[in-house]
């Protein structure tokens, strides 16, 4: 019986989620080929893997043709700008990686007879009129709004994955990722967790958009990656929500960050951005039933670990 390791490809491997996924796959015994053009990824996230025999890194844009020799058993397509600051600054690259990049990654999986998993997003639900959001909800998205470049890129990617599944009989999975946080996030990526932590640690005012009544549901990265790994091993093909259903307002989150960091920063209010979702909460019934998955890390523990990471990163003493 062969004990040869299986090979997984991770696009966006130097990103926040891609790097954590790579770590999990290596821990599970896979050989991993990471691909990233470093547009928004950072080699700092994978530098601890340098010299490891089971990890190979290729700097390449997945909107270019992907060729890899040898066997591939799993393809995880995680490449994409994923924060509003990034995709508003890189709108065309975001659309291309969601369309052409997905096409190339699917083509690689098809050529290798590999299982394919798409990192999709809760943004496919847009500014939802259904709460919490189930996988059966079709969404409320403005296709020509500023955020449409990301939302529609992911919706198109989902459609393409399902087309490959139905037309080519490929083994495909789709994960809809809700707000995730943890070590290796970029401080300046514009998302609320690193923004508030960075402001609190620097003693700057915390900027809350609108009155802060909009809600978010925060999932710690290790929980999210566990759900994604379980999904990759399942035989389910339609989208699955992975996220933490514990919902809180942005204002309550700002106060929690001030409490955990011990910061004396004040809270200031800025105008609400266009098409900013008013509510965001996953219905994870399907993930519970299908994968036996639910979040394990408490908000207090997860935020404390994330604050510790940023303190160390910024060399700010506790």
Q: SS3 for 7?
A: strand
What is the Cα–Cα distance from 284 to 297, expressed in whole angstroms? 16
Q: Is 181 a catalytic residue?
A: no
Cis status, amide bond into 132, omega within 30 of 0: yes
User: Which residue is catalytic, options 150, 164, 181, 229?
Assistant: 150
Residues in a beta bridge with 211: none
Block residue for tokens 């942005």: 250
Closest CA to 74 of 220, 234, 240: 234
> How buried is residue 154: exposed, middle or buried, by Cβ count under 10 Å (0-12/13-18/19+)?
buried
State the DSSP code for 138: -
Which pair of tokens denotes residue 240? 């699955």
The burial of 17, by beta-carbon neighbours within 10 Å (0-12 exposed, 13-18 middle, 19 or more buried), is given as buried
- Between CA 77 and CA 89, with CA 83 as vertex, the angle to 5 degrees is 105
Instruction: Quote the CA–CA distance of 105 and 260 in Å, as a whole number.
Output: 41
Region label for 285, one of left (φ > 0), alpha (ψ between -120 and 50) or beta (otherwise): alpha
- Strand-pairing partners, residue 268, are 207
By the 8 A CB rule, do 21 and 10 touch?
yes
Catalytic amino acids? 150
């Amino acid at each position: 019986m062969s004990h040869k390791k299986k090979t997984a490809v991770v696009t966006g491997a130097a990103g926040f989620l891609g790097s954590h996924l790579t770590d999990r796959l290596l821990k599970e015994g896979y050989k991993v080929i990471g691909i990233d053009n470093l547009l928004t990824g950072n080699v700092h996230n994978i530098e601890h893997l340098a010299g490891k025999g089971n990890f190979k890194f290729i700097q390449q844009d997945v909107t270019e043709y992907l060729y890899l020799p040898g066997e591939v058993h799993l393809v995880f397509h995680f490449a994409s700008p994923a924060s509003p600051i990034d995709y508003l600054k890189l709108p065309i690259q975001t659309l291309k990686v969601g369309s052409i990049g997905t096409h190339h990654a699917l083509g690689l999986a098809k050529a290798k007879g590999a299982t394919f998993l798409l990192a999709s997003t809760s943004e496919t639900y847009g500014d939802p009129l259904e709460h919490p959001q189930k996988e059966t909800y079709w969404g409320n998205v403005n296709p020509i709004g500023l955020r449409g470049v990301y939302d529609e890129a992911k919706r198109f990617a989902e459609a393409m994955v399902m087309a490959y599944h139905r037309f080519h009989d490929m083994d495909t999975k789709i994960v809809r990722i809700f707000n995730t946080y943890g070590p290796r996030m970029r401080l300046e990526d514009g998302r609320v967790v690193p923004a508030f932590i960075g402001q609190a640690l620097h003693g700057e005012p915390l900027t809350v958009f609108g009155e802060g009544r909009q809600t978010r549901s925060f999932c710690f990265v290790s929980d999210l990656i566990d759900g994604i790994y379980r999904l990759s091993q399942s035989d389910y093909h339609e989208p699955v929500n992975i996220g933490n259903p514990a919902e809180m307002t942005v204002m309550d989150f700002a106060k929690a960050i001030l409490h955990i960091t011990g910061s004396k920063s004040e809270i200031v209010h800025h105008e609400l951005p266009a098409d900013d979702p008013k509510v965001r909460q996953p219905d994870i019934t399907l993930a519970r039933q299908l994968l036996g998955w639910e979040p394990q890390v408490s908000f207090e523990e997860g935020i404390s670990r994330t604050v510790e990471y940023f303190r160390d990163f910024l060399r700010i003493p506790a």
